[in-house]
Structure 1
Amino acid sequence: MFGHTALLLFHPCVWDTAEQMGKTHKMRSSAGLMELTDKFTFNPKEGIDNPVMVTTEDTVWTLSPRLCVLKQEEGGSYGFNLRVESGLQGHIIRNVVSGGVAGRSGLRDGDRLLEVNNCYVDHVSHPEVARKITVSGQQLCLLVLDGEQYEQALSRGHDLRSLSIAHKGEGCKPPRLCHITRDPASGLGITFTPVKGEKGRFSVNLFPRGAAEQAGVCKGDQLVWMNGASVADLTHSTLSRMMRKCGEHITILVIDSESQKNYMRQRMPILPSMAVSHNLPNRPRKLHLVSGGDGYGFVLRLEKKRTGPTLHVLRQIESGSAAERAGMQDGEVLLEVNGEPVETLTHGEIVDRVRLSRHQVSLTTITFKGMDFYTQLGLSPLLFSEDGVVREKESSVSAAAAEQPAQKEVDGSCKPRHCTLQKGPSGFGFHLGCFPQGPGTFVSQVAFGGSGQSAGLLEGDVVMQVNGQNVEEKYLEDVIKLVEEGGKLLFLLVREVMGDNKCKQTETHVGDTEFVSQQEEDNYEISNL
């Protein structure tokens, strides 16, 4: 759960010289690394290109990646460090605590990390890998390879990504996290049937073109998780009661049946941190601020909900400032500074990181409502911050330009855009989403290389017209119907979500959520940035 990530999960990147490494650490050989055989028997099902096996004359060399499932204890850490070391490649596991969570899972000192929660990370930067682990929550799946095997694989030019794919099985698809909004006429559009003879397993039944299908649920899916609760120990009657009490929205984790069998065969849990998200509301936003040298134009302060945690909140956005140009809204909660989660940082440490960024800084933010949404699901909102990026129009603004009044830019952001799309083999190349309350639709996904991207559609664009007809007060189903009736050509009038927010003057106020300033209670510092 966001708010309970271990502070001592791992240390920052540590660079050691080869000489120091030679003195302090020796790589341990793993049993079975090299097996000498008199004869190699060809397996026609696997073939000689089996990525977990390399043959040289009479030598069979087998790579043995291991899946380690870590369950974090309340208030504790996973019990290992993740490091980058001079002279060695890959993300290295170090200082595995004997008897700790990592040790009990089978993690070993010197292991190299291949996957985090089913995501291949060997090519990913160290800070991003650390971030993936940090936001995972209480459960974590790591695919690792013994250090000596890893070095041997690199020296022989072995494809580690292929090894990773072979371990999980071809065609194994990730789960999907789907947010369903009740349709006034047809409801949620989904029911569940217990799998005969298997407790805690439920198949999905869909109403054609219903709310669930529109939210990304597919025929034949298996239910894994509902509103933050695993269904593995639930009866059908308990699940039905949960459905009746869910109100206007429900968030579920589903997976296709074949992939579920694959996960079960590997004894791998199916986690929301592995999922592809569909239609999730209240996503975090990434803001890129460029200052002209006179600050970013906002105030950072600590605020505490009367019954909740202390949060770092962005306030008093100055007109024409870098913060306003980036789309910052008063009352947003700060989640990250330059990709580093702020959950465990003090107010002063956050201020230092912003100021050390000099004239550019990237912030990840979310509304109070969004923070509550993900907290109730027991998930970190940072798991879903890839979409909805809001950037300043010109990230390379010069100091002189940044000092000019920004009123024209703000006004221009409200101007709508015409987009003409031609239907291709895979459709128009975008998905629509709906607002949690009331009518209105927006572009939730844009397919790479599709017609939507070519036409200039952006994720988060609010749809104003479809083929000349105003749809601002229409619901998702009506808008989709208009799109389909248009044939192979589609004419959209859209505006960016940043412009939409500013035109409608939507803000989150202190009084709306019963927040009190931490300074009033504990004399905390409030910083102008």
Structure 2
Amino acid sequence: MFGLQGRPSLHPTVCLTAALMGKRHNMGSSAGLVEIIGLTGTFTFNPKEGIDNPVMVFTDDADSVSKPSPRLCVLKREERESYGFNLRVERGRQGHIIRNLVVGGVSGCSGLQDGDRLLEVNNCYVDDVPHTEVSRKIKLSGHQLCLLVLNGEEYEQAVSQGQDLRSLARAHKDEGCKPPRLCHITRDPASGLGISFLPVEGEKGHFSVSLVSGGAAEKAGVCKGDRLVWMNGGTVCDLTHSALNRMMKKCGNHITILVIDSESEKSYMRRRMPILPTMAVPHNLPHRARKLLLVSGPEGYGFLLRLERAPSGRMSHVLREMDRYSPAETAGMQDGELLLEINAESMETLNHEEVVDRVIQSGQQVSLTTITSQGLEFYTKLGLSPLLFCEDDGAEKEKESGEASQKEIEGLCKPRLCSLRKGPLGFGFNLGCVLQRPGTFISQVAIGGSGQSAGLIEGDVVIEVNGQNVEEKYLEDVMIVVRDGGHFLSLLVMEKTSYNKMRQTDTPANHVTAEVKKNIIYDKVC
């Protein structure tokens, strides 16, 4: 998949449609022609030999096109009420698509529209997340859900222009805004819980945190000046200070609270976004669900699955009798754990026979999500799904992930040398250009192709091809350089915004190339 997106015609309004005429031939024979159909006339040019899947697309100057406007939709539902929409993937369309809104339902009242594309679920970017995982996030949201969506037409236009949707979603937020923290505090024999709450003057239902230095609350991740949002499963916005103190006294030796720093709270309020535990980073939680990966041995997985009734009357699928040295024991399975998921599918609505069938149908490998009975009771009392916080999603993992993401973002702002080898999808990307200007950019990257493996991202500006600077070359000239490289290709690329900022300081193309080579990030070679 390597596309041609052409050089502008002599007329500024030409080049709206492209059609491939004829067949591809060897050098020396009459080559295929790409016919450019304009408003006032046509012309043709030879796309040269060896270019995979010629495509002709022209984009307007990005500065002259209005930016897409994501919308924040907050949905609230009652017990046993649905959110009133379907989330779909459709052939020939990109993104997670909102469909089948219930007239007068929760979704319609929130501002969702048919055809909207989903960018974020509860402040988590999901456009590049597998569809099943996105659906799972929505199901785990409980009775309140925040969706950041983009109108279908704006989404498709943004994708065709190579815009970075993640940056678009990020621009919707205030810089420096941090997620809330879900903190579990265990009473210290000497200093107690180490926390108290003060009413914020002039703001009913808002409480500021006061801490004992080095106390239990501070060790659990609470910070001085934090704002209290939620305590033991209930919001505090409707409580008086005296009612909050009475609640504190009933907590005993443990308390679980949702807090956020004051500046981030203001940001959420400006955007009219609720602060939810489903958005939180967990701190010091006493129980976590666990994900176990089992690979079947000669005698199977080596455990029994039984349906048992808990003292509370709740029926659960319980893991029992792990064989010694079995795959179950090797994976860390503990006797008495409760089964929550099989291969990321919830077991909540399945009967025992169906659950057993799911394990058998998994073949030689199965993924199980489990939790202790005490852990399930803990999350039930809080009104949260135990699947929200697994052991591999802990605070340290969140921190490492955040640091990695930041490094990745910083990396994209520097030049990257991407090496590609032609595969079944060609080089696995399309090139585009701005009308009547030299220079090219990555307009599309094929999923699973060589371009994606090498680290190309839609919107990247192409600086060099096979060591040759192409910043001032038109697209068809760049294509010739690509073709001459045969089955191997080396591209020096850079994220568009960062590239434009650099060009403002180093106008000559050769100076820019010399400067960027000082800080090249070498991507993996496919």
Post-superposition offset of 1:244: 1.3
Post-superposition offset of 1:448: 6.9
In the alignment, the residues of structure 2 paired with residue 234 and residue 215 of structure 1 have an alpha-carbon distance, to the nearest angstrom, of 24
In the alignment, the residues of structure 1 paired with residue 91 and residue 247 of structure 2 have an alpha-carbon distance, to the nearest angstrom, of 53
Residues 1:207 and 2:183 are matched in the alignment: no
One-letter identity of the residue aligned with 2:120? E
In the alignment, the residues of structure 1 paired with residue 188 and residue 87 of structure 2 have an alpha-carbon distance, to the nearest angstrom, of 46
Residues 1:279 and 2:305 are matched in the alignment: no
Structure exhibiting the larger radius of gyration computed from Cα positions: 2
> Which moved further from structure 2: 294-303 or 167-176?
294-303
Residue 137 of structure 2 is matched in structure 1 by 132
In the alignment, the residues of structure 2 paired with residue 133 and residue 266 of structure 1 have an alpha-carbon distance, to the nearest angstrom, of 20
Q: Which of 371, 374, 377 is the aligned partner of 1:369?
A: 374
Residue 294 of structure 2 is matched in structure 1 by 289
Q: TM-score, normalising length from structure 2?
A: 0.63
In the alignment, the residues of structure 2 paired with residue 265 and residue 100 of structure 1 have an alpha-carbon distance, to the nearest angstrom, of 26
In the comparison of the two structures, how many residue pairs are matched?
345
Q: Secondary structure at the match of 1:128?
A: helix
In the alignment, the residues of structure 2 paired with residue 58 and residue 295 of structure 1 have an alpha-carbon distance, to the nearest angstrom, of 61
Residues 1:194 and 2:199 are matched in the alignment: yes
In the alignment, the residues of structure 1 paired with residue 253 and residue 170 of structure 2 have an alpha-carbon distance, to the nearest angstrom, of 39
Residues 1:170 and 2:170 are matched in the alignment: no
Cα displacement string for residues 370-389 of structure 1 (whole angstroms, at most 9, x for unaligned residues)? 00000000000110015279
RCO higher in structure (CA 8 A, sep ≥6): 2
Query: Is contact 2:118–2:147 with CA below 8 Å preserved after alignment?
Result: yes
Residues 1:343 and 2:382 are matched in the alignment: no
State percent identity of aligned pairs: 70
Cα displacement string for residues 330-368 of structure 1 (whole angstroms, at most 9, x for unaligned residues)? 111111111112112222222222111111101010000
Task: Report 1:37-116 matches (<5 A).
Answer: 56=61, 59-116=64-121
Q: Which of 371, 377, 385 is the aligned partner of 1:380?
A: 385
Cα displacement string for residues 487-518 of structure 1 (whole angstroms, at most 9, x for unaligned residues)? xxxxxxxxxxxxxxxxxxxxxxxxxxxxxxxx
Query: Is contact 2:319–2:338 with CA below 8 Å preserved after alignment?
Result: yes
Residues 1:243 and 2:248 are matched in the alignment: yes
Q: Secondary structure at the match of 2:66?
A: strand
One-letter identity of the residue aligned with 1:153? A
Task: Report 1:303-382 matches (<5 A).
Answer: 303-382=308-387
Q: Which of 123, 129, 137 is the aligned partner of 2:128?
A: 123
Post-superposition offset of 1:81: 1.0
Post-superposition offset of 1:141: 0.6
Query: Is contact 2:289–2:371 with CA below 8 Å preserved after alignment?
Result: yes
Task: Report 1:443-454 matches (<5 A).
Answer: 447=400
Describe the shift of the 1:308–1:270 C-alpha distance in structure 2 as closer, same or farther (beyond 3 A).
farther
Residue 266 of structure 1 is matched in structure 2 by 271
Post-superposition offset of 1:310: 2.1
In the alignment, the residues of structure 2 paired with residue 343 and residue 76 of structure 1 have an alpha-carbon distance, to the nearest angstrom, of 17
Q: Secondary structure at the match of 1:62?
A: coil
Task: Report 1:394-405 matches (<5 A).
Answer: none
Structure 2: segments with no counterpart, 5+ residues: 1-58, 404-526
Query: Is contact 2:281–2:398 with CA below 8 Å preserved after alignment?
Result: no
Query: Is contact 1:80–1:102 with CA below 8 Å preserved after alignment?
Result: yes
> Which moved further from structure 2: 301-310 or 262-271?
301-310
In the alignment, the residues of structure 2 paired with residue 178 and residue 447 of structure 1 have an alpha-carbon distance, to the nearest angstrom, of 18
One-letter identity of the residue aligned with 1:338? N
In the alignment, the residues of structure 2 paired with residue 80 and residue 386 of structure 1 have an alpha-carbon distance, to the nearest angstrom, of 31
Post-superposition offset of 1:230: 0.3
Describe the shift of the 1:369–1:352 C-alpha distance in structure 2 as closer, same or farther (beyond 3 A).
same
In the alignment, the residues of structure 1 paired with residue 258 and residue 402 of structure 2 have an alpha-carbon distance, to the nearest angstrom, of 28
One-letter identity of the residue aligned with 1:264? M
One-letter identity of the residue aligned with 1:372? E
In the alignment, the residues of structure 2 paired with residue 116 and residue 446 of structure 1 have an alpha-carbon distance, to the nearest angstrom, of 20
Structure 1: segments with no counterpart, 5+ residues: 1-53, 390-429, 432-443, 451-529
Describe the shift of the 1:88–1:299 C-alpha distance in structure 2 as closer, same or farther (beyond 3 A).
same
Residue 518 of structure 1 is matched in structure 2 by none
In the alignment, the residues of structure 1 paired with residue 71 and residue 368 of structure 2 have an alpha-carbon distance, to the nearest angstrom, of 36
Post-superposition offset of 1:447: 4.7
In the alignment, the residues of structure 1 paired with residue 62 and residue 393 of structure 2 have an alpha-carbon distance, to the nearest angstrom, of 54
Describe the shift of the 1:120–1:445 C-alpha distance in structure 2 as closer, same or farther (beyond 3 A).
closer
Post-superposition offset of 1:193: 0.3
Query: Is contact 1:285–1:388 with CA below 8 Å preserved after alignment?
Result: no
One-letter identity of the residue aligned with 1:331? G
Query: Is contact 1:283–1:388 with CA below 8 Å preserved after alignment?
Result: no
Cα displacement string for residues 303-336 of structure 1 (whole angstroms, at most 9, x for unaligned residues)? 2235343222112222222111111111111111
Query: Is contact 2:120–2:147 with CA below 8 Å preserved after alignment?
Result: yes
Describe the shift of the 1:57–1:379 C-alpha distance in structure 2 as closer, same or farther (beyond 3 A).
closer
Residue 472 of structure 1 is matched in structure 2 by none
Q: Which of 237, 257, 261 is the aligned partner of 1:232?
A: 237
Residue 411 of structure 1 is matched in structure 2 by none
Query: Is contact 2:297–2:326 with CA below 8 Å preserved after alignment?
Result: no
Query: Is contact 1:55–1:61 with CA below 8 Å preserved after alignment?
Result: no
Q: Secondary structure at the match of 2:273?
A: coil
In the alignment, the residues of structure 1 paired with residue 369 and residue 286 of structure 2 have an alpha-carbon distance, to the nearest angstrom, of 16
Q: Secondary structure at the match of 1:287?
A: strand
Query: Is contact 2:309–2:316 with CA below 8 Å preserved after alignment?
Result: yes
One-letter identity of the residue aligned with 1:123? D
In the alignment, the residues of structure 2 paired with residue 386 and residue 273 of structure 1 have an alpha-carbon distance, to the nearest angstrom, of 16
Query: Is contact 2:296–2:327 with CA below 8 Å preserved after alignment?
Result: yes
One-letter identity of the residue aligned with 2:182? L
Q: Secondary structure at the match of 1:387?
A: helix
Q: Secondary structure at the match of 1:61?
A: coil
One-letter identity of the residue aligned with 1:242? M
Describe the shift of the 1:447–1:146 C-alpha distance in structure 2 as closer, same or farther (beyond 3 A).
closer
Query: Is contact 2:233–2:383 with CA below 8 Å preserved after alignment?
Result: yes
Give the RMSD, CA atoms, in angstroms: 2.2
Query: Which 4+ runs in 1 deviate beyond 6 A?
Result: none
One-letter identity of the residue aligned with 1:76? E
Post-superposition offset of 1:160: 0.8
One-letter identity of the residue aligned with 2:152? G
